[in-house]
Amino acid sequence: MPVVNVALYAGRTDQQKADLAKAITKAISKTAGIEDSATTIIFQDVEKSSWSDGGVMASES
């Protein structure tokens, strides 16, 4: 059973997350040859003030 963790900047709508979940699930099912129901997706909403790339806070860019 695949478990996918998706960390995104906070602010995505429930519909955006649902659409992304469907797309990820379909890609895994097609590639791995498993049923959609076998895939679990966990979304983590992260504030820009809690995210850094290359030592630069996302909230600063």
**Domain residue ranges of the chain, discontinuous segments joined by +:** 3-50
Residue range 43-53: mean pLDDT, rounded: 97
Q: How confident is the model at residue 16 (pLDDT cuts 50, 70, 90)?
A: very high
Whether the predicted pLDDT of 61 surpasses 90: no
Residue range 34-47: mean pLDDT, rounded: 98
Q: Active-site residue numbers?
A: 2
Is the whole model's pTM more than 0.85, yes or no? yes
Residue range 29-57: mean pLDDT, rounded: 97
What was the pLDDT predicted at 42?
A: 98
Q: Is the dihedral of CA 33, 28, 23, 41 positive or negative?
A: positive
Residue 49 to residues 2, 17, 52, 60, 61: CA-CA distances in angstroms?
30, 21, 8, 8, 11
Q: What does CATH list as the number for 3-50?
A: 3.30.429.10
